[in-house]
Chain A
């Protein structure tokens, strides 16, 4: 292994780990103000929205309909009450069929 690459990887690891662990140290046993607590309760759903869009639309750069179809399939399967694994596999199958047929 080249030592420059090794140091780069260790540096990348450190700067990735610090934001992951710091809140557990900074906010340990601290009661945050109610407004902040409310905002933090909202974070998961806002993050999910931002993680899904617009990225899912562009999973196939030359064919936007590919991503739209994948998103639609996942939303429909999930809305019908399927569990997460079924949603994942269902949308993979729908897209595989789509590329197979087109």
Chain B
């Protein structure tokens, strides 16, 4: 039995690695640019790699660089990081519902690797998510992020401009690649995505709130509104139609 369990874990790990390849590709240009910008902001290569190792959150790492350059206090930089990354709370709550029964420590370990991208892959995956899958997924994303941050600092240059620009679409294309199969299967998914996008467009363009809050608020509004519509649709007949 122990052998069987071990075998399953390793095949789950492999599935996670495969699912993470597009994240690895997508992180490549962003991490490279981060390394380059860190260098121009005066961070040493050790500090740059250390930040990618410890924080592992792209947007907030970029923001911290511009704040360092601006001479912002350490306290304020940490506070900004917190606000930018608070959306992970919602993502972890969602993944917690979907995760297989396992030791809490294992979950605490893989929760370190939850980013917009690993979350999107894990959350749109069919069925439950295992620790092996999460570790496989995280390891590709994490090593790409950390390694290419260092490489970017080391070579001190980014990719040729045309390539750099065209690769900047990679992560968004990945999000679209994850979303569309579900959109084809369910009208509800289309409504959710369109509503989430619309709210975020409004919040961003009107500059009502900081970017970290805009995504969380847009997501929650869309998810709650659609759920209310579902409940309302189900209620008059009393019977619950399970999907």
Q: Mark B213-243, 1 if CB is under 8 A from A, else 0.
A: 0110011101110110011000000000000
Bound CA–CA A21/B204 (angstroms): 28
> Which of B4-12, B144-152, B169-177 makes up part of the contact surface?
B169-177
In the complex, the chain B residue whose C-beta lies closest to that of A55 is B172
Smallest Cβ distance from B218 to chain A, in angstroms? 4
Q: Mark A30-70, 1 if CB is under 8 A from B, else 0.
A: 00100101111111111111111111100110000011001
Please tell me if the beta carbons of A59 and B111 are within 8 angstroms of each other in the complex: no
Q: Does B155 contact A (CB under 8 A)?
A: no
Please tell me if the beta carbons of B178 and A47 are within 8 angstroms of each other in the complex: no
Interface class of chain B by DSSP? helix
Please tell me if the beta carbons of A78 and B181 are within 8 angstroms of each other in the complex: yes
Please tell me if the beta carbons of B223 and A54 are within 8 angstroms of each other in the complex: no
Please tell me if the beta carbons of B174 and A45 are within 8 angstroms of each other in the complex: no
Q: Mark B37-76, 1 if CB is under 8 A from A, else 0.
A: 0000001101100110011110011001000000000100
Please tell me if the beta carbons of B172 and A43 are within 8 angstroms of each other in the complex: no
Kindly list chain A residues whose C-beta atoms are within 8 Å of the C-beta of B120.
44, 47-48, 51
Q: Does B100 contact A (CB under 8 A)?
A: no
Kindly list chain A residues whose C-beta atoms are within 8 Å of the C-beta of B230.
38
Bound CA–CA A12/B84 (angstroms): 11
Residue in A22, A53, A91 whose beta carbon sits within 8 Å of that of B92 in the complex: A22
In the complex, the chain B residue whose C-beta lies closest to that of A66 is B165
Q: Does B78 contact A (CB under 8 A)?
A: yes
Q: Does B143 contact A (CB under 8 A)?
A: no
Would A21 and B92 be within 8 Å (CB), given that A40-B97, A52-B179, A74-B169 are in contact? yes
In the complex, the chain B residue whose C-beta lies closest to that of A82 is B177
Q: Does B137 contact A (CB under 8 A)?
A: no
Kindly list chain B residues whose C-beta atoms are within 8 Å of the C-beta of A77.
177
Residue in B50, B61, B173 whose beta carbon sits within 8 Å of that of A91 in the complex: B173
Residue in A32, A75, A88 whose beta carbon sits within 8 Å of that of B22 in the complex: A88
Bound CA–CA A46/B111 (angstroms): 21
Q: Does B15 contact A (CB under 8 A)?
A: no
Bound CA–CA A18/B49 (angstroms): 21
Please tell me if the beta carbons of B81 and A15 are within 8 angstroms of each other in the complex: yes
In the complex, the chain A residue whose C-beta lies closest to that of B203 is A50
Kindly list chain B residues whose C-beta atoms are within 8 Å of the C-beta of A43.
90-91, 94, 123, 219-220, 223
Bound CA–CA A7/B222 (angstroms): 38
Known: A85-B22, A85-B177. 16 other contacts (CB 8 A): A2-B47, A6-B47, A20-B89, A21-B108, A23-B89, A24-B107, A40-B94, A41-B94, A43-B123, A44-B124, A46-B223, A49-B192, A50-B196, A53-B198, A54-B205, A78-B181
Closest 4 CB pairs of A and B: A49-B196, A87-B177, A49-B193, A46-B196
Q: State the B residues within 8 Å of A (CB).
A: 21-22, 25-26, 43-44, 46-47, 50-51, 54-57, 60-61, 64, 74, 77-79, 81-82, 85-97, 99, 104, 107-108, 111-112, 114, 116, 119-120, 123-124, 162-163, 165-170, 172-182, 184, 188-189, 192-201, 204-205, 214-215, 218-220, 222-224, 226-227, 230-231
Q: State the A residues within 8 Å of B (CB).
A: 1-2, 4-13, 15-17, 19-25, 27-28, 32, 35, 37-56, 59-60, 66-67, 70-71, 73-75, 77-79, 81-93, 95-96, 98-100
